[in-house]
């Protein structure tokens, strides 16, 4: 069973472990580099600050008692928009619905805050991520401002889930 846990700044060691694993596993997928968060960059106050981004929502997925994935939601570039950032699931947990649960958690958080759109940037060439995001309902919205010529911006209209017919 997948358990989701919302993090506070005091949970920085859990976030640190997952973030370093993510940057080592998929360096092509993130704007940060592993080296940026190691050495002098590997400081408790920096990890705490990452979890204290104003208005952010940081979640880890726990499977069989082990933290196996993470995601954050942050306020978007304009009113009514939330951004999904830092999504990652460890190799041992892939294909088990963890990423779907993490994305849904950010969608629900966004809806609770009155957001109408979920937005994210994905690196060009990250076809596995692009296919996943399309599968969960995000659509291409153009090119963003990325370090290497523009990341793909994807968006999804958020709608409250309506209850189905009663039986």
The per-residue pLDDT for 167 is: 45
- Tell me: the pLDDT tens digits for 79-124? 999 999 999 999 999 999 999 999 999 999 999 999 999 999 998 8
The per-residue pLDDT for 142 is: 77
The per-residue pLDDT for 147 is: 41
The per-residue pLDDT for 156 is: 97
For every residue of 80-130, DSSP letters joined together read TEEEEEEEEE-GGGTTTTHHHHHHHHHHHHHHHTT--EEEEEE-TT-HHHH
The per-residue pLDDT for 160 is: 64
Tokens 């993510």, residue located? 22
What number of other Cβ atoms are within 10 A of residue 117's Cβ? 17
Domains of the chain: 2-115 (3.40.630.30)
The per-residue pLDDT for 161 is: 56
- 114 φ/ψ sector (left φ>0, alpha ψ -120 to 50, else beta): left
The per-residue pLDDT for 158 is: 96
Query: Which residues of the chain are modeled with pLDDT < 70?
Result: 143-149, 160-167
């Amino acid at each position: 069973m997948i358990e989701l846990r919302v993090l506070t700044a005091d949970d920085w060691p859990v976030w640190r472990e997952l973030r370093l694993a993510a940057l080592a596993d998929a360096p092509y997928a993130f704007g940060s580099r592993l080296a940026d968060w190691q050495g002098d960059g590997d400081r408790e106050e920096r990890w705490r600050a990452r979890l204290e981004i104003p208005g952010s929502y940081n979640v880890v997925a726990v499977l069989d008692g082990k933290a196996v994935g993470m995601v954050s939601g942050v306020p978007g570039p304009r009113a009514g928009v939330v951004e999904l950032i830092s999504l990652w699931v460890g190799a041992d947990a892939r294909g088990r619905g963890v990423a779907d649960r993490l994305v849904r958690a950010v969608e629900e958080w966004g809806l609770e805050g009155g957001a109408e759109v979920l937005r994210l940037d994905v690196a060009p060439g990250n076809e596995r991520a692009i296919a996943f995001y399309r599968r969960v309902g995000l659509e291409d919205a153009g090119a963003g401002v990325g370090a290497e010529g523009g990341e793909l911006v994807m968006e999804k209209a958020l709608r409250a889930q309506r209850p189905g017919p009663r039986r």
